[in-house]
Structure formats: structure tokens, C-alpha cells
Amino acid sequence: MKIGIPVDFCFRSPSPEHTAEAGLRLAQALGDVPWVLALQGELGAGKTAFVRGVAAGLGVDSAAVASPTFVLAHEYRGTEKALVHLDAYRIEDSSELELAGFDDYLDGRWIVAVEWSEKVADLLPDDHLSLAFSRAPGHPQTRTIVARARSNAGAATLRAWREALKTSGVAIQGESSLAG
């Protein structure tokens, strides 16, 4: 493991449109790797807006992207890669997602975005990207997004994403390094 690789950072998105743009920039940074994006945050925190941006970055019509709360999963075929958008909000136990075929989405053909991922943490691969969304106090449209990686490959992806965000004018608030 390399020392000094940035593996987490935080930034603020001033609007749902900027949150979607951040998702699009992440999709562009993902490359050919079939990532699992573990999304956390309360209702209305911006998770679905972010996934719309990821979808757009994968060549999917972002207007077609809706929260899968009542159906568990939506599959989208993009021009770049396929996306599955899962929502674990109504899951009582992670075995429900497992029985629904979650492992099938880990075959390397999909970008997997899991909302409420903390409810199914035991099913997530070790090498996933974690994205936590929260509302900024006093700013109803602003979201704080914290991105974390757990590996060198994830750190490299986040580094590319961070640079893409900086290039588009997003101020990165903090970052730390992988130690050890």
C-alpha cells in the first residue's frame, strides 16, 4: 500500500444541478473498472441527483433515472457502461438484496450505485467507493459530499475525480491520505 495517496475528500455542491455534474465527472473518472458506489445520506440529501449525473456520464438519458425506492433496482444501459441503481431503504436484512441477485451485478459489467448502502454493508465488496451526502445547515440547496476510497485503485479514481472537480471550479474542502 502506498503512503500519501489521497483517499478521501469533501466538497460542497450548491445545487441539485451541481450535484448531478459531480456525478457525471465521477462517471468519467471511473474508467473501465466496474465500481460499486456506496451512497449514504438522509432522504433528500442528493443521492438520486448524483446518480442521474453518473448515468449521464455513462451515456444514459439522465431524465430516465428515478429513485428505485419501491422497486429495489433500476437497470440502465448506457453507451459507455451499464448502470444499476439500487435502493436498500426498505430492506430489512441484507439477505433480501442477496436473494434479489445483488451478486449478479458484481460480474464486471455494471457500475453499481447503492443508496442506503449502510443497510447492506456486509454485501459490499471491499474495494468500493463510499459517498456520504448531507444537507449544509442554513443552505437548503447545498449538499456536502464526502468521498472515501479503501484501496489504491479507489484512491486513484478519487484523485482523478478530485482533479476533474477542481478543473470545473469546485473547491475541495479537505482531504486525507492513506497511511500505513
Domain ranges of the chain: 6-171
pLDDT tens figures, 1-11: 444 444 688 88
- Name the superfamily (CATH) of residues 6-171: P-loop containing nucleotide triphosphate hydrolases (3.40.50.300)
Radius of gyration of the chain measured on its C-alpha atoms = 15
Q: What pTM was estimated for this model as a whole?
A: 0.88
Average pLDDT for the chain:
85
Structure confidence at residue 136 as a pLDDT band (50, 70, 90) = confident
Helix (H) or strand (E) holding 163, with range, is helix 152-167
Is residue 54 left, alpha or beta, with left meaning phi > 0 and alpha meaning psi from -120 to 50?
Answer: alpha
pLDDT tens figures, 6-58: 468 888 898 999 999 999 999 999 987 789 999 999 998 999 999 999 999 99
